[in-house]
Structure 1
Amino acid sequence: MTQTLKTKVLIIGAGTGGYVAGIRCGQLGLDTVLVDGGDGLGGTCLNVGCIPSKAIIHAAGKFETVAKAAGDGTLGITASSPAIDLGQTVAWKDGIVRKLNAGVAALLKKAKVKVIKGWATFEDAKTCRVETADGPVTISAEHVILATGSEPVELPFLPFGGDVISSTEALSLDAVPNRLVVVGGGYIGLELGIAYRKLGARVAIVEMADRILPLYDKALTDPVMKWLTDHGVELHLGARAGGFGDGKLSITTKDGEPLQLDADKVLVTVGRRPRTQGWGLENMGVAMAGPFVKVDDRCATSMRNVWAVGDLTGEPMLAHKGSAQGEVVAEIIAGHDKRFDPVTIAAVCFTEPEIVSAGLGPLDVAGRDDVITAVFPLAAIGRALAIEAGEDGGFVRVLASKSDHRLLGVQAVGQHVAELSNSFAQMLEMGAVLEDVAGVIHVHPTLGEAFHEASLRALGHAIHI
């Protein structure tokens, strides 16, 4: 027998956009039902994306540190040759995920959000049927928030399965592959490829573009490129992948030559696409913007009282964007006058070294003569040198308007610079000018001093260079 529920707000998807929307709806006193379609509370980011990948990256960094201490040693520290039991590492990572899952569940319960586990299929814009372990449930709602997220893109000639894996499987391997080929030189492929290289795998990267991380300017990616070449990562740029069989991946090089790459695992990371199939979107009557659901600055779709947040709404497909949108929608439904209109959404690549970008970069202002650009190297920052973060070509760069010194963008590359991203975004969001950054007394010794010095340099009077 089908159970029937009616609610004020129905949220489809329990990722960072969906569960944050649910918590905020509950805080605002809105009767709310959240449908978790199978990824688990926290969605891709918490379960098979942001959090577990950073855990594996952290473990790989620790392994590399011990490996450096073996033999001749490093910083006066010597150690025996390290070994890795990847199964234990993955179990530790899974423990973190379980802890965070439980935390999200507790927060939703505290907010009095009803969570239903099962796959939803919409019959019309406000009604869906959810197949649960206890039988079907039909839910009708006054407001619907779509937060179905995204999924890895599969290549037709490299379907996922067996030794051809996505980032999801790469985070749960039971052993380090001897030979790993990564198809796709974007941030996901590079983050995981670098981690497995640190863990001892022989890694090759196949990228169609002529350089890695093609969405970032060359100055930001050069330090990452240097790390890859210095650590023996095999790079095939301007190349195309083909089929995989008998432990070999066929590729066509930039020069058009066929080549066979030995591979125990092939990690395909050629992008992600919005999850629009399999849950009845076509029955909802909402307008599309290419592959994404079209929304306005209130995250409203073309159907009244149907909202969409997160990866479903377009680039940038970042967890923190989805969370912010989820809060906005919840407050609009509660009667508040809100808009989703951020000045910037900062992005981080957790490569080696890390990359941060907020606001406009050099590619965005190419040809303009009304922009000041200034760069300050981490090699001139004491804290960077003291933690071995000053020798890899890292820097902080600021872009500002010549006329009023308004900050337009901030970028950085270097070890640990991810932790500067919120400061960059905050200054841009507040409409800061160079003098604002220069006037803030930055703590010494920290990496954040490079942001201060870059701003001083843009004003023509950096102190430490």
Structure 2
Amino acid sequence: MADTQFDLIVVGGGPGGYVAAIRGAQLGMKTAVVERDKLGGICLNWGCIPTKALLRTADVYHLMKHASEFGLKADNVGFDLDAVVKRSRKVANRLSSGVSGLMKKNKITVIDGTARLEKGKDAPKVIVKRDGKEESYQAKHVILATGARARTIPQAGLEPDGRLIWTYREAMVPEAMPKKLLVIGSGAIGIEFADFYATMGADVTVVEMLDRVVPQEDEEVSALAEKVFAKKGLTIHTSAQVEKLDKGKDSVKATIKTKDGKSATTEFDRVILAIGIVGNVENLGLEDLGVKIEKSHVVTDEFLRTGVKGLYAIGDVVGAPWLAHKASHEGIICVEKIAGKDPHPMDVTNIPACTYCHPQIASVGLTEKKAREAGREVRVGKFPFVGNGKAIALGEDQGFVKTVFDRKTGELLGAHMIGADVTELIQGYAIGKTLETTEAELMHTVFPHPTLSEMMHESVLDAYGRVIHY
């Protein structure tokens, strides 16, 4: 008979859940993970990883079409969509299999099935249903890591059907390349898909309800992003909304109300909904246990405790920022607190955010506007890609690095980037913020030449009137 008693049960095997399970096992806990689908969750199977595989294809395709700029010849450039999708799925499957290996390595029990919770002794009981049968499991501690799913709007026809109106899942496995595509929402998910499809040849329109694209980013980043996307041929409507979608046999008519208040109807082959996510909190028995839920997300304290004895929650199900690395870090904080360690509580201002469009976008900490709204006197530095030798050599002169400091203390409040490879560069500032670095340490750090990272140094210098190369 299968073992049903554990020290720790994690419900959900995504980047928050499986990391929490591994850390629990490392700390000597007898650990199990309940997963109803594939280990790795949305991130590895339908999100972070396979989308980056698609975007890598788009980057290579873009370079092939611009080969002459590098003194190369590439004639009759094209692509095989089936092969593009197969590569993306192969990458996802490889990593999901890797998580299975990590579970075995750390002697973590994987329980296949769908979980719900009931009142238990030290913590809620975990009831797992599989193939019509239910089995009860008990642990001293239970962590909810059930993630989130795409938000939909049933009204006005803004609801995915998997054929004409897509979520991120369908957008990753297209059977054919749409000629005209509408993307509703310009956050990270929406703008990444918009960029991928536009690069591969689709005529793409983006509708954003707020007044700028990638609205969570610094205003100057948004402004340059919109300028570059428009130059690439994307049609962008900000301060706009899709009033309704009318589905035809193999197309969708979208009525779009633009910022001037006028409405017009345009026909598209396909539509991608990217209007946010909602937490997976249904059918878990949370209400009966007395778990507090606000706007589809579980409410926790700074150490991820729900207020119900023995029950914790991490990752997308507890709210923004909806990032895999945030979920993983929460898992570690949560488990270490359970084990009697003394972890630092979560500080979301130290969580970097990355968007993998072209040009890439990355940030950490406060934007200039939010820092000023918080009452901080700031120093702001900025350095453009056009002033960097490595960027020019790469043929990537569009972008900039921006840093925001506290004028009185020199504390690094935030950093914001747009341009080539900034999703790799941002970690330098994330480390600096975590170490509570001031401008002095950053100024005295020697950055290698020629690299894109030199712009990070120059941006700091610019904030203090010492910029060298621009």
TM-score by length of 2: 0.94
Identity of aligned residues (%): 33
Length, aligned pairs only: 458
- The equivalent of 1:10 in structure 2 is 9
- 1:328 partner amino acid: I
Aligned to 2:459: 454
1:16/1:323 contact within 8 Å kept: yes
Structure 1 residue 118, shift from structure 2 partner: 1.0
1:361 aligns with: 367
Q: Is the 8 A contact 1:181 1:267 kept in 2?
A: yes
Q: How does 1:222-301 map to 2 (within 5 A)?
A: 222-241=223-242, 242-246=244-248, 247=251, 248-301=253-306
Letter of the structure 2 residue corresponding to residue 177 of structure 1? P
Structure 1 residue 327: deviation in Å?
Answer: 1.0
Letter in 2 for 1:135: K
Q: Given the alignment of the two structures, is residue 182 of structure 1 paired with residue 183 of structure 2, yes or no?
A: yes
| 1:77 alignment counterpart | 72
Q: Distance in 2 between matches of 1:264 and 1:369?
A: 48
Which has the higher mean CA deviation after the structures are superposed, 25-34 or 227-236? 227-236
| Aligned-residue offset at 1:4 | 7.2
Q: Which residue number in structure 1 is paired with residue 327 of structure 2?
A: 322
Separation in 1, partners of 2:321, 2:36: 23
SS of the residue aligned with 1:58? helix
Deviation of residue 341 (structure 1)? 3.0
Deviations 1:17-62 (A, max 9, x none): 0000011111112111100122x11111111111111110110111
Tell me, yes or no, if the aligned pair for 2:218 and 2:416 is still in contact at 8 Å.
Answer: no
In 1: Cα distance, 2:266 partner to 2:438 partner: 51
Q: Which residue of 2 aligns with 1:145?
A: 143
1:339: how far off? Answer: 3.5
Contact 2:330/2:346 (8 A) holds in 1: no
**Partner Cα distance (1:116, 1:341) in 2:** 29
Matches within 5 A, 1:52-201: 52-69=50-67, 73-124=68-119, 126-133=124-131, 135-156=133-154, 157-161=157-161, 162-201=163-202
Q: Distance in 1 between matches of 2:128 and 2:188?
A: 35
Unpaired runs of at least 5, structure 2: none
Q: Please name the residue that 1:303 is paired with.
A: 308
Residue of structure 2 in register with 1:384 after alignment: 391
SS at match of 1:273: strand
Distance 1:298 1:218 in 2: 32
CA distance in 1, matches of 2:344, 2:428: 22
Question: Counterpart in 2 of 1:344?
Answer: 350
Partner of 1:27: 26
The one-letter code of the counterpart of 1:243 is: L
Match of 2:417, SS state, is strand
Q: Does structure 2 retain, via aligned residues, the 8 Å contact 1:251–1:258?
A: yes
| AA partner of residue 52 (structure 1) | P
TM superposition shift of 1:65: 1.4
> How many Å apart are 1:3 and its aligned residue?
6.9
Deviations 1:227-262 (CA, angstroms, capped at 9, x unpaired): 221122122222221123222222223333332222
* Paired residues of 1:344 and 1:425 also in contact (CA < 8 A): yes
Which stretches in structure 1 are left out of the alignment for 5+ residues?
Answer: none
Cα deviation code 1:82-131 (max 9, x no counterpart):
22111111111111111111111111111111001111122236112211
Shift of 1:134: 8.1
CA contact (8 A) 1:299 1:329 kept: yes
Spell out structure 1 runs of 4+ moving beyond 4 A: none
Contact 2:226 2:236 in 1 (8 A): no
Counterpart pick for 1:422 among 424, 427, 430 = 427
User: Which residue in the other structure is 2:45 paired with?
Assistant: 47
Cα-to-partner distance string for 1:138-193 (whole Å, 9 max, x where unaligned) = 11221100000110001112221121000111011122111111011222111111
Amino acid at match of 1:358: V
What displacement does 1:288 show?
2.8
Asked whether the 8 Å contact 1:249–1:260 carries over to 2, the reply is yes
Residues of 2 paired with 1:74 and 1:422: CA distance? Answer: 31
Equivalent position amino acid for 1:345 in 2: I
